[in-house]
Structure formats: C-alpha cells, structure tokens
Amino acid sequence: MEDELADLHLEDAKEKAFRGDLKDSTDDLQFCLMGYC
C-alpha cells in the first residue's frame, strides 16, 4: 500500500497547474494540467 501511495505522490508532482494569459487564449479553460492539455 505504501508503494501505491508513493506512486500517487509522484503523479501529483508531475501535474503542475499553470495559468496562461487568458486574453490570448481562444479556449474556455482557465487552468490546465500539464500533460493533459
């Protein structure tokens, strides 16, 4: 179980949210997770 929790922690570290300049964006998304956009 500890290994599974460690894996989840690594995934969270990879998913850094960022906020782009919304004026230049044509998307309705305000936040995006890197690797899933």
* pLDDT tier for residue 34 given thresholds of 50, 70 and 90: low
What is the b/e burial string over 8-32, where b = at least 16 CB atoms within 10 angstroms of the residue's CB?
Answer: eeeeeeeeeeeeeeeeeeeeeeeee
**Residues 13, 5 contacting (CB under 8 angstroms):** no
Classified as helix, coil or strand, 32 is strand
pLDDT for position 1: 55
Q: Which domain range does residue 14 map to? A: 2-33
Estimate to the nearest angstrom the gap between the alpha carbon of 14 and the chain centroid: 7
What's the number of domains the chain is made of?
1
Whether pLDDT at 21 is above 60: no
What pTM does this model have?
A: 0.18
d(CA 18, CA 31): 6
Residue 5 has pLDDT above 60, yes or no: no
